[in-house]
């Protein structure tokens, strides 16, 4: 199947960007977290993105941002499900990677979780953008408020070139400086420190986001030079 056909169908489903990565791009992924560890027949990873309605991050009340984020996960999973059906109707087996939970890997002490495939890395490997100093994924046009989905297929499709035409400015430390937990070192995020601040339980035990400063202050929040 041609990459163009896949991208056109993904766009029809509402994806705002779609790219393809081959397995060679995942050679440095941790053992157990490579596409072929999930689906041994996998030959290509189809990755797509969609932007959250961005003003949600400007609300002082945490409910709109939290609810919008959870709905984004549902939207991404819906697109991934339809993509799987599309591939199956073309005699290609397709396996969905969840947009969020469930995980298999969870370290309670460190409050550290790992999705079955890192969607941020997959999006980079599919040429859709870069990983910022905050470790958030950034698409040049849409910024960092994008959600990512992926489908693993047992067909070889031409991969996309990596996005190498933009990066974090050398001297930018906005995200690192804005973090109330000093959870970032420019390479990784200490998930325990982050989760202690970025989630809280309200009302009847509802989980709400309580911090998104690293996303909010980024130069690329809603696209290139948006800060
Ligand atoms: S969400 Fe908040 S606490 Fe977590 S890394 Fe970003 S700024 Fe720090
Ligand atoms: S705030 Fe600056 S350093 Fe951090 S991710 Fe955005 S552009 Fe990169």
**Cβ of 189 below 6 Å from ligand 1:** yes
Report which protein residue has its CA nearest ligand 1's atom 1: 212
**Cβ of 214 below 6 Å from ligand 1:** yes
Report which protein residue has its CA nearest ligand 1's atom 7: 179
Q: Which two tokens stand for residue 204?
A: 């009847």
Report which protein residue has its CA nearest ligand 1's atom 3: 194
Q: What order of strands is seen across the sheet that includes strand 17-22?
A: 17-22, 44-51, 146-153, 94-97
Instruction: Identify the bridge partners of residue 20 per DSSP, sorted by sequence position.
Output: 46
Report which protein residue has its CA nearest ligand 2's atom 8: 168
Residue 77's Cβ-count burial label (10 Å; 0-12, 13-18, 19+) is middle
pLDDT on residue 1: 92
* Ligand 1: centre distance to CA 54 (Å): 18
**Tens digit of pLDDT per residue, the chain (227 long)?**
999 999 999 999 999 999 999 999 999 999 999 999 999 999 999 999 999 999 999 999 999 999 999 999 999 999 999 999 999 999 999 999 999 989 888 888 877 788 999 999 999 999 999 999 999 999 999 999 999 999 999 999 999 999 999 999 999 999 999 999 999 999 999 999 999 999 899 888 899 999 999 999 999 999 865 55
pLDDT on residue 225: 55
* Ligand 1: centre distance to CA 182 (Å): 8
């Amino acid at each position: 199947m041609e990459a163009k056909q896949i991208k056109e169908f993904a766009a029809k489903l509402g994806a705002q960007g779609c790219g393809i990565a081959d397995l060679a791009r995942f050679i440095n992924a941790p053992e157990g977290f490579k596409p072929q560890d999930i689906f041994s027949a996998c030959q290509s990873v189809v990755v797509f993105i969609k932007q959250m309605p961005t003003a949600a991050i400007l609300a002082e009340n945490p409910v709109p941002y939290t609810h919008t984020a959870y709905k984004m996960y549902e939207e991404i999973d819906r697109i991934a499900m339809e993509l799987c059906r599309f591939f199956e109707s073309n005699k290609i087996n397709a396996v969905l990677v969840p947009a969020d939970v469930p995980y298999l890997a969870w370290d309670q002490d460190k409050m550290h979780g790992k999705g079955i495939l890192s969607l941020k890395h997959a999006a980079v490997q599919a040429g859709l953008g870069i990983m910022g100093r905050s470790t958030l994924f950034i698409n040049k046009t849409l910024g960092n408020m994008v959600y990512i989905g992926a489908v693993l297929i047992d067909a070889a499709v031409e991969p996309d070139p990596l996005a190498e035409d933009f990066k974090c400015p050398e001297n930018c430390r906005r995200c690192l400086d804005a973090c109330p937990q000093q959870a970032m070192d420019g390479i990784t995020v200490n998930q325990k420190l982050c989760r202690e601040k970025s989630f809280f339980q309200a009302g009847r035990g509802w989980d709400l986001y309580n911090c998104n400063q690293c996303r909010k202050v980024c130069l690329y929040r809603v696209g290139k030079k948006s800060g």
